[in-house]
Amino acid sequence: MQRIKKAEEQRDDETPSAVSPHGQDGDGIGDSRGNGGKDDDATEAPPASLEEQLAAARQEAEDYKDRYLRARADLENFRKRSVQYVAEGVRDGLKQTFEEILPVLDNLERAIAFQEQHQTESVEDVLTGVRMTLLQLRDVLERQNVTRQEVLGEPFDPRFHEAVDVQPAGGEVEPDTIVGEIKAGYLFGDTVLRPAQVRVAQRSGADE
């Protein structure tokens, strides 16, 4: 009986395990799963081709170029506006200065006109000095592009003239012609610094 029992135990030891969760078959299943993971990585999208990368780089460069041109245009517009604002500020300041000088010019002209009408030897030297001052002041204004309007005999233009008196047109004088200057008008370049106050010939009722 002992021999038979030993023979059975020997057969049991020699028989391999058919299915074992920890045996070779189990390891094979684990390896199969591992290979399956590698197959999933292989299905990812391939890297972009050289042509695609180049096209993307060109598009990006165009975007940067467009932004640069826009920024440059904005900067140039800002510079032009700044220059214009400064120029207008200087021009307005000069205009105000000249407007304040003009009454002085008027007074000098009136003094000369009065002295010429009531000339005496005692005031001749004073008259000469006033004339020199007037000429100097006119020269200063002309260098600043301030000029006096020549209005006598010119057609009346409301952009440059202010009619403060009228007289009937007669002889060779056409209606709406300036026949007298009450106060001189001045231009600052092409801008009216002060309109000339004038007397204008007007068509009489009989002519109408």
The pLDDT tens digits for 73-132 are 988 998 888 888 888 888 888 888 888 888 888 888 888 887 777 776 667 777 787 888
Range of the domain at 140: 72-144
Which residues, in sequence order, are CB contacts of 93 under 8 Å at separation 6+?
Answer: none
* 27 assigned to some structural domain: no
43-52: average pLDDT: 73
In a domain, residue 169? The reply is: yes
Domain identity same for 130 and 167? no
Given 144, 162, 182, the domain boundary residue is 144
Number of domains in the chain: 2
Q: CA 135 to CA 105: how far, in whole Å?
A: 10
| Domain annotation covers residue 100 | yes
CA–centroid distance for 91 within its chain? 18
Contact (CB, 8 A) for 161 and 192: no
pLDDT of residue 19: 46
Asked if the structure places residue 47 within a domain, the reply is no
Backbone angles phi, psi at 76, to 5 degrees: -65, -40
Of the residues 127, 144, 161, the one at which a domain ends? 144
pLDDT in tens, 138-162: 888 888 889 999 999 999 999 999 9
The sheet with strand 178-183 has its strands ordered as 161-168, 196-202, 178-183
Among 144, 170, 185, the domain-final residue is 144
Q: Look at 172 and 38; give whichever has higher pLDDT.
A: 172
Residue 53 has pLDDT above 50, yes or no: yes
DSSP-assigned letters across all residues of 99-167: HHHHHHHHHHHHHHHHHHHT--GGGHHHHHHHHHHHHHHHHHHHHTTEEE---TTSBP-TTTEEEEEEE
Q: Give the three-state DSSP class for 180.
A: strand
pLDDT above 70: residue 35: no
Between CA 156 and CA 131 the distance in angstroms is 30
Residues 85 and 140 in one domain: yes
Task: Give the pLDDT band of residue 29 (cuts 50, 70, 90).
Answer: very low
Query: Residue 37 falls within a domain, yes or no?
Result: no
Domain CATH number, residue 196: 2.30.22.10
- Give me the percent of the chain exceeding a pLDDT of 90: 25
- Is it the case that residue 199 has pLDDT exceeding 60? yes
Kindly state whether residue 101 falls inside one of the protein's structural domains.
Answer: yes
Under a CB-based contact definition with an 8 Å cutoff, are residues 200 and 173 in contact? Answer: no
| Same domain (yes/no): 82, 120 | yes
Assigned domain for 183 exists: yes
In angstroms and rounded to an integer, the radius of gyration of the C-alpha atoms of the chain is 53
Please tell me whether residues 137 and 169 are part of one structural domain: no
> Is there a contact between 101 and 144 (Cβ–Cβ < 8 Å)?
no
User: Is residue 29 included in any domain, yes or no?
Assistant: no
Rounded to an integer, what distance in angstroms lies between the CA atom of residue 36 and that of residue 25? 17
